């Protein structure tokens, strides 16, 4: 049951193509000018308020070969926090550099392989 049952009691089923309507500004205005879908509304809200989508929450980098520097192209469009583990699943620490909003590099004192979780 919803924490806010009074908000959704009368809506029924919502889908991406459910049509919503804004108030007409004039009786002569065509319906195409004041109707939109839930998907259109969601796209507008993501754009207007810079919201992130689920595919922009994290990036898991795999470094299969030992290297002193891991170059990570995460494409998250923002600076990231990084958590690294070696091939034995032990936490390791390297020096993190945000080269751009989409690229990060990590320098280690010894060559190592493993994974880096960018959030």
Secondary structure class of 27 (helix, strand, coil): coil
Q: What is the pLDDT of residue 24?
A: 66
pLDDT score of 45: 84
pLDDT digits (tens, 9 = 90+) for 9-36: 555 677 777 777 777 667 777 766 777 7
Where the chain has pLDDT below 70, the residues are: 1-12, 24-25, 31-32
For residue 3, the surrounding DSSP H or E stretch is: none
pLDDT value at residue 50:
76
Per domain, the residue ranges of the chain are: 5-48, 55-118
Q: What is the DSSP string of 63-117?
A: EEEEEEEEEEE---SS---EEEEETTS-EE--EEEE-SSSEEEEEEEEEEEEEEE
* Pairing assessment for the beta strands 82-86 and 19-21 based on DSSP bridges: unpaired
Alpha-carbon span 72 to 76, nearest angstrom: 11
**CA-atom Rg of the chain in angstroms:** 23
């Amino acid at each position: 049951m919803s924490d806010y049952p009074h908000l959704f009691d009368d809506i029924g089923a919502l889908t991406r193509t459910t049509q919503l309507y804004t108030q007409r500004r004039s009786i002569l205005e065509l319906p195409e000018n004041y109707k939109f879908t839930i998907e259109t509304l969601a796209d507008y809200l993501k754009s207007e308020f810079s919201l992130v989508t689920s595919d922009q929450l994290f990036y898991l980098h795999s470094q299969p070969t030992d290297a002193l520097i891991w170059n990570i192209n995460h494409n998250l469009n923002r600076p990231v926090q990084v958590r690294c583990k070696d091939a034995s699943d032990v936490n390791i620490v390297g020096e993190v550099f945000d080269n751009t909003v989409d690229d990060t590099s990590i320098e280690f004192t010894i060559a190592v392989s493993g994974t880096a979780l960018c959030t």
